Amino acid sequence: MKKSPLPVQNVQRSDKNVAGKEALVKLLRWHFGHADFRGKQLEAIQAVVSGRDCFCLMPTGGGKSICYQIPALAKPGIVLVVSPLIALMENQVMALKEKGIAAEYLSSTQATLVRNKIHEDLDSGKPSVRLLYVTPELIATKGFMLKLRKLHSRGLLNLIAIDEAHCISSWGHDFRPSYRQLSTLRDSLADVPVLALTATAAPKVQKDVIDSLSLRNPLVLKSSFNRPNIFYEVRYKDLIDNAYTDLGNLLKSCGSICAIIYCLERTTCDDLSVHLTSIGISSAAYHAGLNSKLRSTVLDDWLSSKKQVIVATVAFGMGIDKKDVRMVCHFNIPKSMESFYQESGRAGRDQLPSRSVLYYGVDDRKKMEFLLRNSENKKSQSSKKPTSDFEQIVKYCEGSGCRRKKILESFGEEFPAQQCKKTCDACKHPNQVAHSLEELMTTASRRHNPSRIFITSSNKVTNEGQYSEFWNRNEDGSNSDEEISDSDDANEAAKSLAGPKLSKKLGLDEKLVLLEQAEEKYYERNKQVKKSEKNAISEVLRESSKQRLLDELTRVLQQLASVKEIDSKKACEFLENECYRKYSKAGKSFYYSQIASTVRWLGTASRDDLMTRLSSVVSSGGREETRKEPLLVEHAENIEEEDDGKINTSESHVDETTQELVVSPSRSPINLPHVPSFSEFVNRRKMKLNTSADKSSEGFDDMKPAKIMKLQ
């Protein structure tokens, strides 16, 4: 609802109370309906209203905008707001206009007529506009700077606010070269106070911002970065059957909440959104691969709650002010703690309980390490170390302590874990998290398996542009362009990965070959463990496998109320031994997948299934029966490549629910499938992949999302 402009018009520069708390609170209540200032808002406002520079560090959703919006109402003249995204400016201007506050933005996306009208207003003796949002690119143009000087000479420039000020620093996670131009503002408009606002906590970024903008004796305000209303949680992709299903179930269990899901790749956004829609969750994909019209429709639908979930790359979100986002989910590991904090911080801006869920996968980690290493090589001149920033977020996922503590400590803030008050999974369910991490350790062998790395020569899977949003925009040479650089460059990803070696003239296939070679070299360099060591099954792994089986069996036996009939410890030793006997020679991966498959079988087995398979360890009134020949249950998952006739199919069938090949107990002897060597297995898999990639009509498009993920 529009408010009367009275309070704005009435406040005069001469008013001694202009920076007084009472007058400022009155404006806040009148225009924004907030009862009082939050955190350091009042201090920041009072500083700039009295003409002092200010550097304001507040957490995401902390209320930084008020710090320049109230001064625009408290003093005559224009507040110039520099903002990095058109979408962000549009949003804020629309919201301010709805409140009856005269705000405008200037961008080349506007109709000429609209732009001319704004310029006319600025050129008039008494402009009506109070807040003018502009891009850093526009500031850099001579014409606009001249206009600003004129406004200033007429005493009409009240304040310069640099929103998302961390974009000026190449140390920041979102560096924008065009922000560098803002350093000229101080020279040209020397006595206009400057307010720099950011939620980026790294001290080196803070210093860089203050130096680059030549802030003079600024009031430095820092708030705690803690977001107590966000519950932090990590889920381990390697320990769940299907992350798509898990996420779908998670969202469904929360009701129709508003959520953001961040993915690394555009194709994942598309696939995941299709999957969620197919299970009845209203969702849409958002990434730079979509045209701007579609993007703005998706954004509008989500902002107006027509769509519940937005599945996006990092192109989405900076400055989006939707208060009721209840969950932010990272479907792939983010590139740094800073990015994670910013993105997850988009949840719960209304301060109500919200959730951050990060799906961590070893493959995702390797993928990101690869991308970061390439970007690091490319910027070898710079001392920036994206990989060390990345380590922090890996520790967040792979460590067992309080997640909140890890976030805050990475920003140099001390935080005793007791203060978390069980608002992260590690504090709420420490045993469960420790157990998951233990299990994750046993999958470590997968981390050395290059066959799971994402680059593939299938054109269908690899889209050159799909990582574009991942990169900082410091490669953007078009800094004279007034347009915001959230646009898409189809070649950017490939260029970024391979650096200068990839000529623009190369076709996609040639680029991919080079990328694959680079990837191989990378893994060659990082081969630290000898093949034999890599494949060895340690006692630790065996023990942890037994524990895993025991946990599952205990749960199942409780469910079936058959606790006393089976000696679960012996049963698990028996099952583990079975896996070890059959697969130890083939290596860790085989052994591990056999354990995983047995755990799954346990989860779905009936009482009879258990009694039959575990007959050798079935207790009878506390006495153990004599060991019978164990029944053989082979898992389809492990022998799908091996259907070379060694198993007599007339004696076996695939259980539809467990997807396991069950061999009839009454027929014997039964030949076990030939266990392939690791290289045999990999070669066969490669051949299979190549064949399916060749058949374009049966390509990856037709595969289920979960399958695609496994192959990437």
Ligand X SMILES: Nc1ncnc2c1ncn2[C@@H]1O[C@H](COP(=O)(O)OP(=O)(O)OP(=O)(O)O)[C@@H](O)[C@H]1O
**Radius of gyration for the alpha carbons in the chain, expressed in angstroms and rounded:** 30
Q: Is 181 in the site for ligand X (CB under 6 A)?
A: no
> Smallest distance from the beta carbon of 325 to ligand X, in angstroms?
11
Report, in Å, the least distance between residue 60 CB and Mg ion. 8
Pick 36 or 520: Cβ nearer ligand X:
36
Task: Quote the tokens at residue 411.
Answer: 């920003």
CB of 402 to ligand X, least distance (A): 24
Helices in 124-218 by DSSP H: which ranges? 136-139, 142-153, 177-180, 184-188, 203-212
Look up residue 383 and give its amino acid. Answer: S
**Does the footprint of ligand X cover residue 323 (CB under 6 A)?**
yes
Q: Does 34 contact ligand X by CB under 6 A?
A: yes
Is residue 63 close enough to count as binding ligand X by CB under 6 A? yes
Q: Using alpha carbons only, what angle is made at residue 322 by residues 317 and 328, rounded to the nearest 5 degrees? A: 60
Place of tokens 């003018």: 132
Alpha carbons 230 and 348: distance in angstroms, whole number: 7
Give the total of residues touching ligand X (CB under 6 A).
Answer: 17
Please pick, from the candidates 136, 177, 319, 334, the single residue that binds ligand X as defined by CB under 6 A. Answer: 319
Helix, strand, coil: what percent of the chain each, to 5? 50, 10, 40
How many beta carbons lie within 10 A of that of residue 14, not counting itself?
6
Residue 348 makes contact with ligand X by CB under 6 A? no
Out of ligand X, Mg ion, none, which partner does residue 62 contact, by CB within 5 to 8 A per kind?
A: ligand X
CB of 163 to ligand X, least distance (A): 7
Distance in Å, CB of 150 to ligand X, minimum: 30
Using rule CB under 6 A, residue 172 touches ligand X:
no
Dihedrals phi, psi of 230, to nearest 5 degrees: -100, 125
3-state secondary structure 83-102: CCCHHHHHHHHHHHHHCCCC
Which partner in Mg ion, ligand X, none is near 38 (CB below 5 to 8 A by kind)?
A: ligand X
Least distance to Mg ion from the beta carbon of 40, Å?
Answer: 14
What residue 602 binds from ligand X, Mg ion, none (CB within 5 to 8 A, per partner kind)? Answer: none
Binding marks (x or -) toward Mg ion, 311..330, rule CB under 5 A? --------x-----------
Residue closer to ligand X (CB basis): 37 or 591: 37
In the bound state with ligand X, the residue whose beta carbon lies nearer, of 32 and 681, is 32
Minimum distance from CB of 194 to ligand X (Å)? Answer: 17
187-226 footprint of ligand X as x/- string (CB under 6 A): ------------x---------------------------
Nearer to ligand X, 77 or 319 (CB): 319
Beta pairing class for 652-655 and 660-663 = antiparallel
Residue 223 CA to residue 210 CA, distance in Å, equals 17
Cα torsion angle, 41, 46, 48, 53, sign: negative
What is the spatial distance between Cα 93 and Cα 634, in angstroms, rounded to a whole number?
Answer: 64
- CB within 8 Å of 559: residues ≥ 6 apart: none
**How do beta strands 325-330 and 652-655 pair?**
unpaired
For the chain, the distance separating the N- and C-terminal CA atoms, rounded to the nearest angstrom, is 50
Q: Is 37 in the site for ligand X (CB under 6 A)?
A: yes
Under the binding rule (CB under 6 A), the answer on residue 565 touching ligand X is no
Side-chain half-sphere CA neighbours of 387 within 13 A: 15
CB of 151 to Mg ion, least distance (A): 24
68 binds ligand X (CB under 6 A): no
Whether the CA torsion 597, 599, 601, 604 is positive or negative: it is negative
Judged by CB under 6 A, which stretch of 35-43, 404-412, 448-456, 519-527 contacts ligand X? 35-43
Q: Which of 64, 307, 330, 404 binds ligand X (CB under 6 A)?
A: 64
Cβ proximity to ligand X: between 349 and 448 the closer is 349
Q: Which does 317 bind (CB under 5 to 8 A by kind): Mg ion, ligand X, none?
A: none
Applying CB under 6 A, among 121, 321, 578, 655 the residue interacting with ligand X is: 321
- Piece of 58-66, 244-252, 468-476, 517-525 that binds ligand X (CB under 6 A): 58-66
State which residue, 72 or 537, has the beta carbon closest to Mg ion.
72
Candidates 13-21, 30-38, 296-304, 590-598; binding stretch for ligand X (CB under 6 A): 30-38
Q: In the complex, what is the shortest distance from the CB of residue 216 to Mg ion, in angstroms, rounded to a whole number? A: 24
Of 8, 40, 62, 583, which lies in the binding site for ligand X, with binding defined by CB under 6 A? Answer: 62
Q: In what order do the strands lie in the sheet with 633-634?
A: 633-634, 660-663, 652-655
Q: Cα separations (Å) of 697 from 457, 508, 665, 693, 702? A: 16, 20, 41, 9, 8
- Which of 330, 349 has the CB closer to ligand X? 349
Comparing CB distances to ligand X, the nearer of 165 and 272 is 165
The contact pattern for ligand X, residues 277-316, with x = CB under 6 A and - = no contact, is ----------------------------------------
Q: How many CB atoms lie within 10 A of CB 25?
A: 16
Comparing C-alpha atoms, which of 623, 621, 614, 603 is closest to residue 560?
603
Separation of alpha carbons 332 and 358, rounded Å: 7
If the CB atoms of residues 235 and 326 are measured against ligand X, the closer one turns out to be 326
Provide the 3-class DSSP secondary structure of residue 197.
Answer: strand
3-state DSSP call for residue 703?
Answer: coil
Do 365 and 199 meet the contact criterion of CB atoms below 8 Å apart? no
For ligand X, which is the closer residue by CB, 58 or 96?
A: 58
Q: Say whether residue 58 binds ligand X (CB under 6 A).
A: yes
**Which parts of 234-253 interact with ligand X (CB under 6 A)?**
none
User: Which range touches Mg ion (CB under 5 A), out of 58-66, 116-124, 224-232, 650-658?
Assistant: 58-66
Cis before residue 127, ω within 30 degrees of 0? no
Residue 26 is a binding residue for ligand X (CB under 6 A)? no
Q: Taking CB under 6 A as the rule, does residue 81 contact ligand X?
A: no
C-alpha–C-alpha distance, residues 137 and 184, integer Å: 12
601 near ligand X, rule: CB under 6 A: no
Q: How far is the CB of 163 from Mg ion (least distance, A)?
A: 6
> Should residue 60 be labelled a site residue for ligand X when binding is judged by CB under 6 A?
yes
- The residue of the chain with the least Cβ separation from ligand X equals 63
> How far apart are CB 268 and ligand X at their closest, in Å?
24
Give 22-30 contacts, CB < 8 A, sequence gap 24+. 23/74, 24/49, 24/70, 24/74, 27/70, 27/73, 27/74, 28/66, 28/70, 30/3
Tell me how far, at minimum, the Cβ of 486 lies from ligand X, in Å. Answer: 16
The only residue of 349, 405, 448, 473 in contact with ligand X, by rule CB under 6 A: 349
E-assigned strand segments in 353-455: 354-360
Give me the residues that bind ligand X (CB under 6 A), please: 34, 37-38, 41, 58, 60-66, 199, 319, 321, 323, 349
